[in-house]
């Protein structure tokens, strides 16, 4: 299988990079186009702000990704790509997708995004114009399938979130790492009002919480029982998920999430996951056996108190969560193999 992988490959904690690793592992031959090869320009930021305000301004292609894609496709005209995999290609133009098909009609063009692509803050003019030209769209949002079809998508397939088996796995942590990265209860991620309210509720009720995050989290540095530290990346990210006795998993309300990347990453890293209860979380992990869930701040507090006092039960759930990730094929490698098989069958 010959694949052209298009995406943003910067930063070791980047899930797009992790999917590219899986594609590289699976493909017989692969080429790559990094759509974030160059820093975001002021023109890009202005165009994006105008688009968010309702002005139909396309995003500029700061890294010349469209030209690079066509150069690769034209070079491979005698041995064409089976798949052009575009990972959230906000700067990929409809004209580029048409030219790919003109050069190699049998090449399958795939759109993958981990985000809710029916919401404007995740879109661009470039993306919207290109929707009908992809052979298949993979989405991690089960509830947007019909809306994507209304936007012109030919075929939409739901896939769960995934973890990267070479990056998210249980490690042998030193006592220094446990002290530096761990704690009773922890959270890694952006500030949002609902998750902040839940964490403040825990702190107010005597639970010691450590948050790794920037931005507005810094406003809460003086709250009793709450420790706020800068965001962690790379291996420290995976180690922190494991080092916390309880690792909190909140969902982004702006995206109406039912699961998130941490839904997979926390258990895969050997962390104890206490997540918001949703229908998808309950399908992915057995409650009380492979992970724990809550539906209110009161239940969150009760479960924190309980599991901080019951180390053996917590360890059993951690071990079962790791096994569930592996046995159910939640890794990028397993999931992308399934997706590529769908693409193959879709082309027949």
Tens of pLDDT, residue by residue over 250-295, are 998 888 899 999 999 999 999 999 999 999 999 999 999 999 999 9
pLDDT of residue 13: 79
Give CA–CA dist 347/343, Å, rounded: 6
CA atoms within 13 A on the CB side of 182: 17
Please classify residue 87 by burial: count the beta carbons closer than 10 Å to its beta carbon, then call 0-12 exposed, 13-18 middle and 19+ buried. Answer: buried
Residue 234 near residue 227, CB atoms below 8 Å: no
Phi, psi of 109 (to 5 degrees): -105, 120
What is the percent of the chain with per-residue pLDDT over 90, rounded to a whole number? 94
The domains of the chain, with CATH numbers, are: 2-162+331-346 (3.40.50.2000), 175-327 (3.40.50.2000)
Residue 95: pLDDT band by 50, 70, 90 thresholds? very high
Task: Name residue, tokens 């909190």.
Answer: 248
Question: Would strands 2-7 and 244-249 be described as parallel, antiparallel, or unpaired?
Answer: unpaired
Give CA–CA dist 67/76, Å, rounded: 14
Give CA–CA dist 153/128, Å, rounded: 10
Q: Of 62, 51, 77, 72, give the one whose Cα is nearest residue 6.
A: 72
Give CA–CA dist 316/7, Å, rounded: 38
pLDDT of residue 255: 83
Give CA–CA dist 176/191, Å, rounded: 27
Give CA–CA dist 101/86, Å, rounded: 14
DSSP string, 46-91: HHHHHHHTT---PPP-TT-HHHHHHHHHHHTSSS--SEEEEES-TT
CB atoms within 10 A of CB 16: 21
Residue 101: pLDDT band by 50, 70, 90 thresholds? very high
Residue 228 near residue 190, CB atoms below 8 Å: no
Give this prediction's pTM: 0.93
How long a stretch of residues is the chain? 348
Tens of pLDDT, residue by residue over 188-236, are 999 999 999 999 999 999 999 999 998 999 999 999 999 999 999 889 9
In the structure encoding, which two tokens stand for residue 234, read together?
Answer: 């790379």
Residue 12: pLDDT band by 50, 70, 90 thresholds? confident
Q: Of 212, 38, 114, give the one whose Cα is nearest residue 199.
A: 212
Task: With a cut of 70, say whether residue 69 has pLDDT above it.
Answer: yes
Task: With a cut of 70, say whether residue 348 has pLDDT above it.
Answer: no
Tens of pLDDT, residue by residue over 138-182, are 999 999 999 999 999 999 999 999 999 999 999 999 999 999 999
Give CA–CA dist 153/150, Å, rounded: 7
In the structure encoding, which two tokens stand for residue 20, read together?
Answer: 């590219």
Give CA–CA dist 325/329, Å, rounded: 6
What is the percent of the chain with per-residue pLDDT over 70, rounded to a whole number? 99
DSSP string, 164-200: -TTTSS-----HHHHHHH-EEEEEES---HHHHHHHH
pLDDT of residue 347: 67
Tens of pLDDT, residue by residue over 296-331, are 999 999 999 999 999 999 999 999 999 999 999 999
């Amino acid at each position: 299988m010959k694949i052209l992988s298009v995406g943003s490959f910067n930063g070791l904690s980047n899930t797009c990079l992790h999917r590219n690793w899986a594609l590289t592992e699976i493909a017989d031959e692969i080429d790559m186009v990094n759509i974030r090869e160059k820093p975001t320009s002021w023109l890009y930021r202005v165009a994006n702000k105008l688009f968010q305000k309702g002005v139909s301004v396309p995003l500029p292609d700061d890294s010349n990704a469209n030209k690079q894609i066509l150069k690769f496709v034209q070079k491979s005209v005698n041995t064409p790509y089976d798949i052009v995999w575009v990972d959230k290609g906000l700067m990929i133009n409809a004209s580029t997708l048409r030219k790919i098909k003109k050069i190699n009609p049998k090449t399958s063009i795939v759109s993958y995004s981990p985000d809710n692509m029916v919401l404007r803050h995740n879109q661009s003019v470039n993306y919207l114009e290109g929707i009908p030209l992809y052979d298949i769209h993979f989405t991690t949002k089960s509830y947007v399938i019909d809306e994507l079809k209304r936007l012109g998508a030919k075929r939409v397939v739901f896939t769960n979130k995934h973890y990267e088996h070479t990056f998210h796995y249980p490690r042998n942590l030193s006592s220094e790492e446990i002290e530096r990265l761990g704690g009773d209860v922890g959270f890694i991620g952006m500030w949002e009002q609902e998750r902040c309210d839940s964490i403040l509720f825990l702190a107010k009720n005597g639970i010691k919480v450590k948050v790794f995050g920037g931005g507005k989290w810094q406003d809460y540095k003086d709250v009793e029982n709450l420790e706020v530290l800068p965001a962690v990346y790379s291996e420290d990210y995976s180690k922190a998920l494991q080092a916390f006795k309880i690792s909190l998993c909140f969902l982004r309300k702006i995206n109406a999430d039912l699961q998130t990347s941490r839904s997979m990453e926390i258990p895969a890293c050997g962390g104890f996951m206490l997540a918001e209860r949703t229908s998808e979380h309950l399908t992915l992990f057995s409650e009380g056996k492979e992970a724990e869930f809550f539906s209110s701040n009161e239940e969150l507090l009760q479960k924190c108190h309980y599991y901080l006092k019951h180390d053996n039960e917590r360890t059993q759930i951690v071990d079962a969560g790791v096994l569930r990730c592996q046995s159910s094929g939640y890794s990028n490698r397993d999931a992308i193999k399934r997706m590529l098989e769908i693409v193959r069958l879709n082309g027949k």
